[in-house]
Structure 1
Amino acid sequence: MLNPKPLVRLLFCLLPACAFMLASCSSGVSLLNGDHSTKATVITSQIMNYAQTMVGEDNPLWNELEKRTHTDLKITWIPSTSFDDKIRMLLASRDLPDLTFVINLNMPILKDLVKEGLFWDLTPYIHEFPNLAALPDYSWENSKIFGKHYAVPRYYPVVGGEQFPMLRLDWLERMKMELPETMDDLYRVLYAFTYQDPDQNGKQDTIGFSGYFSALQFVFNAFNETGGAWKLRDGTLHPLITEDASRDALLWIKKAYDNKIIDPNLPILKLTQMEEAVKRSEAGATSLSMGYVWKFIEELRKTNPKADILPLSFLKGPNGVPYVPTTEGGYFGAYLIPKSVPESKMKKILQFLDYGYSPEGNDLVNFGLKGIHYTERDGIKTATEQAKKDLIIIGDNLGSIWRPLGDTQVVSAIGISPEINERNKRIVEQRSKSLPPNPAVGLYPEKYYDAWASLTSSVNDVRMKVIIGQMTIEAYDEWIQKLKQDDRYKKVVAEMNEAYRRKMTQ
């Protein structure tokens, strides 16, 4: 990246401007294109954003990012709840933005478009951009399509970013209970959080666990002693959806639901409702990524200085095997550039992505400007009121384009206490020692991808019926046996095992 010439920089800093602009000058602004006599590069994109209030082109940090990268950004934010449907419609239309963001690189429609040559093969260009090239090898390797780099991975840590239980440590200590290590231990803790007045207000107004159904996926994996959706047994891949251990996991969840230690709104609960239940001290546990830990603690300590939320390091299944969740691939979402974009502009877009993976660019979108949006002491950043006004959120809004590098997004947070920060680091280290096998990582049914998605959805629907009492476990058993005879199911299993055999013989 080129720095502005001294005269240009001086003139820029002498312009009448607000403190926001002055801070940019004093921090040593880096521009992707030092010659600003040229027109800014227009970049259109559509990116998933979890923020409740999403920023627009009038946002000062948005403007600052454009100045530093000499771009004119036209970003459409898409909420996570509707992203899958909208990206499928977008790909089907073939009317793609300059920077096309997808979550799942294994969608058949996307791979068909790649085969047809609609996207740039970026393999020959990556080495020209040092920050992109410095992303972990596994992130690049696992985001390949047909062995080539058609996509730029959006980095995401392998450990700490998946949903896993975190619970009220102060409640646990008050009741003189040990940290749960097994699924049975966890059940007892959640039961106590529900019925033993953990907040000592003399009322039975708490619940053990608040979470939607997918937040309970860890139960199925812990019982199966494996990561992902497939289990290696006797040298063959078997889908967890039909495993006997998954039946046991289902009964564990049903028991918890029947005994009202899981939120009765399980079938319809939303992420925001999960969060609020924890923040209001209504729930003693939930299942989310470690990035939520400080968010909860900070809110709880406004009224209770001793409140504490602890993410568990592991949970053991029935056979005593520890389980922790991992993120497949080392990325969450990726960017593709359609061939309708000329090569010269394609390189400018890669330059833009490269800036976001520089220390300067990554800090800018996730934390804002030092002295304006945050202060820093002993490596801990503390947000200012201006950061709240400008809607700066780590990993959301402009941070949705590039999430923080390293373990920052799951370990640290704006304003986090040094003690919690160090504790989070230790938990990530502990989890890294108990990584489960994931034999099907990187493998997806190609021909029967849609069939697999449909089968999985059907199983989840049936599981929910069992949990809420609309179907007996005996009826579930019969349904699973019929599913195993389903032609689509057999083809998916056969295709996955063939892919696994190819992988093991390469």
Structure 2
Amino acid sequence: MERTTNGNRLRLWGLASVALTTFLAGCGDQGASSATKAPTATEATKEPLKLSMMNMYYSAEPPKADNEAIKLIEAHTNTKLDITWVPNSAYNDKINATIAGGELPKIMMIASNKASGIVNAVKSGMFWEIGPYLKDFPNLSKLNPLVLNNISVDGKVYGIYRSRPVAREGIIYRKDWLEAVGLTEPKTIDDFYNVVKAFATKDPDKNGKADTFGMYEGRGMNGFQTILSWYGGPNLYGVQDGKVVPDFMSKEYIDALKLYKRMYDEKLINLDFAVVPGTKRQESINQGKAGLIISTLDDVNSGFNDLVKANPSAVLDVASRITGPKGERLMLYNGGYVGVYMFPKTSIKTEQELKQILGFLDKLGDKKMQNLFEWGIEGKHYKVENGKPARLDGKAYETDISSIYQLRYDDGSQTDAGEDVPIVKKYKQMFQKNTEIAVANPAESFESATLAEKGSELTKIVQDARIKFIMGNIDEASWNQAVEQWRKSGGDKVIEEYTVQYNKQKK
């Protein structure tokens, strides 16, 4: 599972400045030349290319060294991979420590590529600029220009983004509960509220007890941005009167807050939402405590095995398009990417070596590799029916393939259309169709020196006020005072910095 909350996007992690400065002293001033070409087949080395890499994992245990899928990747790309797997919860700390230590792998998956320390490292020459090389590779040359712009620093590209569906969020709900309370899939905000209320008050599990929540939420408030999109709000930042301003300065943000407050006041959501981790959301579904969560739609395909074990009659379904005041809208998910592969100059000494490594990533995007990530290994994870792959063993796929899924960067455009189970087919169709209603963040590629310095302080002002409003500890007037505090504490400077870059970009 991958999540990036509003608070996380505002918060910027720093690196140890002294260690970083010392390390940067060893970085050269190599640059990319647009005249260079990718290595031809005859130039490629016959011996496997040895590649060290750092990446994260979300599974309970790191991928095993003898993972069969990794062996297939090595064979296809003619590489020998040395991957340092780090749990997602400790990943940013590990990146910081690794950079401070100076011993960097040749490929670093940077999860927080817009963190001030990483941006400063880029500007100081720590990483290769790779934008001019992309046109020389068949797969890398097809990377989405919009997303490349989103990851850029000063208009230059320093990494390969890991593609994700651009409109990925929606509702995962108990379909059997929906039928039990006599309702249908929600299509409007009022429908959504009515479903949440029914799940909490109409005994959907028929046990005669008032022991269920309509929706379960965690301290990251994972569903807030999606609900904000239904009301027509901006994606983290929007443009008002020619200025780039944060989403919480919009009327739609207040509307979303009021819906959360209503659900809280009526005890339709868990009252401890402000302190429980986001992982509790899936757990609440598995334990039959809640009827729905707002999450990435593909989460429905994993993490709910315990639900079926405890209640074999349970059925999950997904919904995504909710009509609000401005029609159907969804936030463009994380700028269309989650993490960026970057290439340290201290580990990659020459342009030729860089091109070889880019060649590995290009091959990792081949159709054969896309199908490996999507379907797994034939005969073990899928079989071919009517000329199409069909899933065989979902649990084996989760163990063998999902555990290494973080290696994947492609957009899945070359994968074979298969005989998916209905729920998977449904959310894949939603991913494709929902791109037309995705709302982008106009400030995605911008930088703010003020946020780099005061990001945590500014974020805390808004996050604290948001929770207090929902819990009824402050009213709308006090909320507006918190926004003013944000502005006076540096927020107005953020608006100014972003607006200058926005106007420059428009020219």
TM-score between both structures, scaled by the size of structure 2? 0.80
**1 CA distance for matches of 2:451 and 2:491?**
9
Aligned residue runs from structure 1 range 198-217, under 5 A: 198-212=204-218, 213-217=220-224
8 A Cα contact 2:223 2:293, kept in partner:
no
Residue of structure 2 in register with 1:147 after alignment: 155
- Number of aligned residue pairs: give it: 464
Aligned residue runs from structure 1 range 44-123, under 5 A: 44-123=52-131
Aligned residue runs from structure 1 range 354-369, under 5 A: 354-369=362-377
How far 1:380 moved relative to its partner? 4.4
Deviations 1:222-281 (A, max 9, x none): 366134211222332221233344233223212212322112331233343211222333
**2 CA distance for matches of 1:39 and 1:46?**
22
**2 CA distance for matches of 1:110 and 1:476?**
33
Deviations 1:364-415 (A, max 9, x none): 3454321133323353431438935x82244xx3221115633799x999x8
- Matched residue SS, 1:130: coil
**1 CA distance for matches of 2:439 and 2:46?**
52
How far 1:430 moved relative to its partner? 4.6
- Aligned AA (1:197): D
8 A Cα contact 1:164 1:325, kept in partner:
no
One of 476, 483, 486 as aligned partner of 2:486: 483
Aligned residue runs from structure 1 range 225-244, under 5 A: 225-244=232-251
Residue of structure 1 in register with 2:330 after alignment: 324
**1 CA distance for matches of 2:79 and 2:114?**
30
> Does residue 131 of structure 1 match 2:139?
yes
- Aligned AA (1:188): N
One of 443, 448, 457 as aligned partner of 1:445: 448
The worse-fitting range, judged by mean Cα deviation, of 44-53 and 237-246 is 237-246
Residue of structure 2 in register with 1:289 after alignment: 296
Residues 485 and 52 (structure 1), Cα distance of their counterparts in 2 relative to 1, 3 Å cut: same
**2 CA distance for matches of 1:495 and 1:190?**
41
**2 CA distance for matches of 1:108 and 1:124?**
24
Deviations 1:260-305 (A, max 9, x none): 2112331233343211222333211101111122336776556666
- Matched residue SS, 1:125: helix
Residues 209 and 68 (structure 1), Cα distance of their counterparts in 2 relative to 1, 3 Å cut: same
Residues 242 and 138 (structure 1), Cα distance of their counterparts in 2 relative to 1, 3 Å cut: closer
- Matched residue SS, 2:383: strand
Q: CA RMSD in A?
A: 3.3
Aligned residue runs from structure 1 range 429-468, under 5 A: 429-436=432-439, 438-446=441-449, 448-468=451-471
- Matched residue SS, 1:485: helix
One of 299, 312, 319 as aligned partner of 1:312: 319
- Aligned AA (2:462): V
- Aligned AA (1:199): D
> Does residue 384 of structure 1 match 2:393?
yes
Residues 376 and 200 (structure 1), Cα distance of their counterparts in 2 relative to 1, 3 Å cut: farther
**2 CA distance for matches of 1:282 and 1:477?**
35
**1 CA distance for matches of 2:491 and 2:335?**
25
Residues 382 and 352 (structure 1), Cα distance of their counterparts in 2 relative to 1, 3 Å cut: same
The worse-fitting range, judged by mean Cα deviation, of 297-306 and 334-343 is 297-306
**1 CA distance for matches of 2:195 and 2:372?**
41
Residue of structure 2 in register with 1:263 after alignment: 270
How far 1:470 moved relative to its partner? 5.2
- Matched residue SS, 1:154: strand
**2 CA distance for matches of 1:198 and 1:68?**
51
How far 1:358 moved relative to its partner? 0.7
**2 CA distance for matches of 1:287 and 1:260?**
17
How far 1:441 moved relative to its partner? 4.0
How far 1:38 moved relative to its partner? 5.7
Residue of structure 2 in register with 1:500 after alignment: 502
Residues 459 and 371 (structure 1), Cα distance of their counterparts in 2 relative to 1, 3 Å cut: same
Residue of structure 2 in register with 1:156 after alignment: 164
Residue of structure 1 in register with 2:24 after alignment: none
Deviations 1:449-483 (A, max 9, x none): 34245312331133223334555555444333333
- Alignment gaps of 5+ in structure 2: 1-39
**2 CA distance for matches of 1:119 and 1:203?**
59
**2 CA distance for matches of 1:217 and 1:464?**
12
- Matched residue SS, 2:131: coil
Residue of structure 2 in register with 1:401 after alignment: 407
- Matched residue SS, 2:391: strand
The worse-fitting range, judged by mean Cα deviation, of 200-209 and 365-374 is 365-374
**2 CA distance for matches of 1:408 and 1:173?**
38
8 A Cα contact 2:69 2:401, kept in partner:
no
**2 CA distance for matches of 1:299 and 1:469?**
35
- Alignment gaps of 5+ in structure 1: 1-31
Residue of structure 1 in register with 2:20 after alignment: none
Percent identity over the alignment is 26
Deviations 1:301-339 (A, max 9, x none): 56666643333232344x354322222433221111111
**2 CA distance for matches of 1:314 and 1:449?**
35
